[in-house]
Amino acid sequence: MRLEVRYTNNIGERLHGLAAEFRAVREQLLDQASNQLEQALDRSITASGLRDIHGKVRSWQETKKGSGGGYVAIHPKPRTFVVTQTGKEYAVGYITNAIENGHKVRFPSGRAKRYRPEVHMARARAFKFYADTQPVAEEVAREMAQSVERRLAAYLEG
């Protein structure tokens, strides 16, 4: 007994090329998604109330593509530092984290008798611009999945 499988309409060739097509479509859509997310993060930083007139915090952000090409992420640039007037260096990731999540405020020691502190809060305000961008990221991911589905279906249909 012999079983022979024959594909009609070149479906076998299209199935063999499906993995390469998927990688190409995914790479193209991830590039588009990274641009959309970068724009959304810039809008979120501006809308958060953070006084970033010269765009310092926005310029510290960069897009990173996964080594396997399966994801994109936006995060502060690695090995980038800001130097204060006193010469102390702070990593931009450290500063971005403090702005995003808030930070403790140091109170004066209270040793001076007539000193009245200007600080009247325990924590600095959190601006949450990454958290505000999360719903946009989820929507972009949904649209990307639907687009991949449509384009691969069109590829298979010929």
Facing residues of 83 across strands?
89
Average pLDDT, the chain: 89
Strands (E), 35-155: 61-65, 72-76, 81-83, 89-91
pLDDT value at residue 14:
80
Query: Would strands 61-65 and 81-83 be described as parallel, antiparallel, or unpaired?
Result: unpaired
Q: Where are the domains of the chain?
A: 11-157
Residue 40 pLDDT exceeds 90: yes
Task: Express as a percent the part of the chain with pLDDT over 90.
Answer: 65
Q: Which residues contact 126 (CB under 8 A, 6 or more apart)?
A: 99, 100, 101, 102
Comparison of pLDDT for 79 and 17, the residue scoring more: 79
pLDDT value at residue 5:
63
The reported pTM is: 0.82
pLDDT-based confidence at residue 86 (cuts at 50, 70, 90)? very high
**Could you give the angle at the alpha carbon of 52 between the alpha carbons of 127 and 120, nearest 5°?**
50
Look up residue 26 and give its two tokens.
Answer: 């995914």
Facing residues of 126 across strands?
none
Round to whole Å and give the CA distance between 31 and 86: 40
